[in-house]
């Protein structure tokens, strides 16, 4: 068994131990590791425009991983400052890391920006705190609960589509961000969109600050300086906290029996009756669910519209399926469950354009992983996008849109049952995945019932890493109203 132990001292010495273990990687700068090179590569490719038929965007979006994987193979090491990171693109090793039942890995440190955005809610919580929170929130996402939300999600979609009636062209990326924020505000927090929108806008602004700061030089003490970005971050954190407190207080005042059965109600019951959650924890969890609950699903919908615009035959097949199962009526949960082709299409979109492109963990002790020993404190980077686009894993057509590969289910679509990592796997897998799939199916069905669509000639195919995978300049489409 070989150790890839790497401490800062070994970094200084050229990481001899790592090289001895056969794990190679780019040499980094003494202070900044490979960070400058990564920024440079990403800057150079930022304005790259791809052919609309090409889904092979790794060279643009993750040029660092693309370059080093071609030089060193799927397992290599690189440096973020003085922190070593191990890139692993083998789905079996990824599964072992993500499904580890003994808690040998924790979530990677995300820095103050993302912490401000998400709060220390479920996505970033650890150990006993995480288990306690997950127990409280899980009942909000059972199938029975989700079924009761279909009407609310459909109402939100209907409001958006009524607006589309007046339009010939829409920028769907923005439309879907508003729609999914609206849907999570109503279903999880029972709040009006007016209040939810304030949280949503504060999170958008914070997200832009985080993305912009990636390209600026960072020093370890940066977060303590009164820079414009830090001042804005604190202002937005206060704004989010005040708005969330407002939403919570309104629920307290409404004196609903046991605070309600939605996510907010369950958390408030846990706070008031069982003392299993504090008010600060509820606020953090609200931030997490506001962000996680809309950001990813909106991009799933956006990329689905992109792929159905460029594959008109699939747009037509899905429309036929929707009209067969739901007619022109608003779809309910039972009808939605019959949309087999739509499920395959959504999985294929999640494979090609997974909103979450990287999963990260840190070893909390020396851990055996395959034939390696990962030393304590080593970060492990699982390149979801790289795994999803690998020809070795998905076959020669890995970069093509082929929903039929999911005909026999997700576990049989590739040469490894856990190769599909859009929702991750193991105990920290996405708690909102059924909600996301349900919402995407309702919205998509309602769009297909009413409109056909093609890409606007103004569209530029520029997938970009903006914490999630997004079209850099939005997605304008041209609509045709089918009932006109
Ligand atoms: C297409 C939509 C979505 C995608 C692709 C997605 C993806 C993911 C992924 C990859 C993770 C795991 C991260 C990791 O292992 O480090 C995750 C976790 C999580 N997601 Fe989602 N998500 C989606 C929708 C949602 C929705 C709608 C909600 C809430 C309603 C949600 C809430 C969460 C939460 C709370 C976690 C943390 C779970 C835990 O650690 O216990 N997600 N999501």
CA pair distance 423, 428, nearest whole angstrom: 9
Mutate to test the pocket of ligand 1, among 381, 430, 433, 439 (most ligand atoms within 8 A of CB): 430
Tell whether 6 is in a known binding site: no
Contact 424, 387 (CB under 8 A): no
Question: Which atom of ligand 1 is least distant from the CA of 288?
Answer: 35
CA pair distance 213, 170, nearest whole angstrom: 30
Per-position DSSP letters for 118-169, written without gaps between them: H-SSTTT--HHHHHHHHHHHGGGGSHHHHHHHHHHHHHHHHHHHHHHTT-SE
Domains, the chain? 2-481 (1.10.630.10)
CA 154 to chain centre: 23
Q: What is the pLDDT of residue 12?
A: 36
| Encoded tokens for 188 | 């999880």
Q: Is the CB of 296 under 6 A from ligand 1?
A: yes
Cα of 423 from ligand 1 centre, angstroms: 6
| Residues sharing a CB contact under 8 Å with residue 275, sequence separation 6 or more, in sequence order | none
Q: Is the CB of 347 under 6 A from ligand 1?
A: no
Question: Which atom of ligand 1 is least distant from the CA of 107?
Answer: 16
| Encoded tokens for 114 | 């993302």
CA 160 to chain centre: 23
Q: What is the pLDDT of residue 72?
A: 95
Per-position DSSP letters for 337-356, written without gaps between them: TT-HHHHHHHHHHHHHT-S-
Q: Considering only CA atoms, which residue is closest to atom 19 of ligand 1?
A: 430
Q: Is the CB of 430 under 6 A from ligand 1?
A: yes
Cα of 185 from ligand 1 centre, angstroms: 16
pLDDT in tens, the chain (484 residues): 444 444 444 433 334 454 556 789 999 888 889 999 999 999 999 999 999 999 999 999 999 999 999 999 999 999 998 889 999 999 999 999 999 989 999 999 988 888 889 989 999 999 999 999 999 999 999 999 899 999 999 999 999 999 999 999 999 999 999 999 999 999 998 877 788 888 889 999 999 888 887 766 665 666 666 677 788 888 999 999 999 999 888 888 886 667 888 888 889 888 887 778 888 999 999 999 999 999 999 999 999 999 999 999 999 999 999 999 999 999 999 999 999 999 999 999 999 999 999 999 999 999 999 989 999 999 999 999 999 999 999 999 999 999 999 999 999 999 999 999 999 999 999 999 999 999 999 999 999 999 999 999 999 999 999 999 999 999 999 999 998 7
Q: Is the CB of 134 under 6 A from ligand 1?
A: yes
Q: What is the pLDDT of residue 190?
A: 83
**Which helix or strand (DSSP H or E) is residue 207 part of?**
helix 193-214
Q: Is the CB of 301 under 6 A from ligand 1?
A: no
Q: How many CA atoms lie within 13 A of 58 on its CB side?
A: 21
Q: Is the CB of 382 under 6 A from ligand 1?
A: no
Q: What is the pLDDT of residue 25?
A: 93
Q: Is the CB of 288 under 6 A from ligand 1?
A: yes
Q: Is the CB of 424 under 6 A from ligand 1?
A: yes
Cα of 479 from ligand 1 centre, angstroms: 31
Q: Considering only CA atoms, which residue is closest to atom 31 of ligand 1?
A: 432
């Amino acid at each position: 068994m070989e150790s890839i132990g790497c401490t800062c001292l070994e970094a200084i010495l050229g990481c001899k131990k790592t090289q001895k273990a056969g794990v190679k990687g780019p040499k980094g700068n003494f202070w900044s590791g490979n960070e400058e090179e990564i920024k440079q590569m990403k800057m150079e490719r930022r304005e790259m425009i791809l052919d609309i038929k090409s889904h092979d965007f790794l060279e643009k979006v993750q040029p660092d991983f693309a370059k080093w994987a071609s030089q060193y193979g799927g397992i290599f090491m690189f440096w973020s400052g003085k922190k070593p990171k191990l890139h692993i693109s083998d789905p079996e090793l990824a599964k072992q890391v993500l499904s580890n039942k003994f808690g040998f890995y924790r979530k990677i440190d995300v820095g103050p920006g993302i912490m401000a955005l998400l709060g220390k809610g479920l996505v970033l919580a650890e150990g006993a705190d995480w288990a306690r929170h997950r127990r409280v929130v899980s009942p909000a996402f059972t199938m029975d609960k989700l079924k009761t939300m279909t009407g609310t999600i459909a109402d939100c979609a209907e409001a958006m589509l009524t607006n589309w009636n007046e339009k010939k062209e829409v920028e769907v990326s923005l439309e879907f961000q508003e729609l999914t924020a609206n849907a999570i505000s109503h279903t999880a927090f029972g709040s009006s969109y007016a209040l939810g929108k304030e949280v949503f806008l504060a999170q958008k602004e914070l997200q832009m600050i985080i993305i912009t700061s990636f390209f600026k030089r960072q020093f370890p003490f940066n977060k303590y300086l009164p820079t414009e970005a830090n001042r804005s971050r604190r202002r937005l954190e206060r704004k989010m906290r005040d708005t969330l407190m407002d939403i919570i207080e309104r629920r307290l005042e409404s004196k609903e029996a046991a605070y309600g059965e939605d996510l907010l109600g369950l958390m408030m019951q846990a706070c008031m009756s069982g003392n299993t959650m504090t008010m600060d924890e509820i606020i953090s969890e609200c931030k997490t669910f506001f962000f996680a609950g809309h950001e990813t699903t909106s991009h799933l919908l956006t990329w689905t519209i992109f792929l159905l615009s460029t594959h008109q035959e699939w747009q037509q097949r899905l429309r036929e399926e929707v009209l067969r199962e739901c007619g022109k009526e608003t779809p309910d949960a039972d009808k939605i469950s019959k949309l087999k082709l739509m499920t395959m299409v959504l999985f294929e979109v999640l494979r090609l354009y997974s909103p979450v492109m990287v999963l990260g963990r840190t070893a909390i002790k020396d851990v055996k992983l395959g034939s390696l020993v990962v030393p304590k404190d080593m970060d492990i980077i699982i390149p979801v996008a790289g795994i999803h686009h690998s020809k070795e894993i998905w076959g020669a057509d890995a970069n093509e849109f082929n929903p039929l590969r999911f005909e026999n289910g997700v576990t049989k679509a590739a040469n490894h049952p856990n190769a599909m990592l859009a929702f991750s796997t193991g105990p920290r897998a996405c708690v909102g995945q059924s909600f996301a799939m349900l919402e995407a199916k309702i919205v998509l069905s309602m769009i297909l019932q009413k409109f056909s669509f093609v890409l606007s000639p103004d569209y530029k195919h520029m997938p970009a890493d903006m914490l999630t995978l997004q079209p850099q300049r939005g997605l304008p489409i041209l609509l045709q109203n089918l009932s006109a």
